[in-house]
Amino acid sequence: MIAVDTNILIYAFRQESSHGKAMAEKLATLVNSGTAFAICWPSVHEFLGMVTHATRMKPPSRMVDAIRFVEFFARNPSVKFLHEMPDHLSRLGSLLIDGNVTGPAVHDARIAAICLSHGVSELWTADRDFVRFPSLKSRNPLADTVG
């Protein structure tokens, strides 16, 4: 199963970036394929916070619009929302120690741990920091490289 990271959601929602439209098309192709895919709840929270943040987005999105975007996925039977599992602390701890992770990168380790606990085979992300977690295959869907 593929999981979609926060930045993929942001680019697809806020298409003003140079690759926003292309990312929206990739995500639409995934949605329309009927293939099961996942979004981690922490990515949803981060997405909502980022797109409505006045100093990060000019202009910030309205919360109601951002929530509607997430609701679109929630209505799709192919989408599964992922959360921490009972093994989370053990898996997270291993990722943090093995990846020598500190500070804000702990959030990425959290996403990786959730994905691994749910058997995600690939994380779509534009964040190169996920290469710290070789047990989780990560890929930018707009590039041909896999990390």
Q: What is the pLDDT of residues 70-117, one digit of tens each?
A: 999 999 999 999 999 999 999 999 999 999 999 999 999 999 999 999
Q: Which CATH architecture has domain 2-139?
A: 3-Layer(aba) Sandwich (3.40)
3 state SS of 112 = helix
What are 70's two structure tokens? 């997430």
For residues 110 and 92, the answer to whether their CB atoms sit within 8 Å is yes
Q: In what order do the strands lie in the sheet with 138-139?
A: 79-82, 37-40, 2-4, 122-124, 138-139
Percentage of the chain lying above the pLDDT 70 cut: 97
Task: Write down how long the chain is.
Answer: 147
Provide the mean pLDDT of the chain: 93
Q: What residue type is assigned to position 73 of the chain? A: F
Q: Domain spans of the chain?
A: 2-139
In a 10 Å sphere around its CB, with 0-12 CB exposed, 13-18 middle and 19+ buried, how is residue 140 labelled? buried
Query: Residue 50 gets which letter from DSSP?
Result: H
Q: Dihedral sign for Cα 86, 94, 41, 143, please.
A: negative
pTM over 0.75: yes
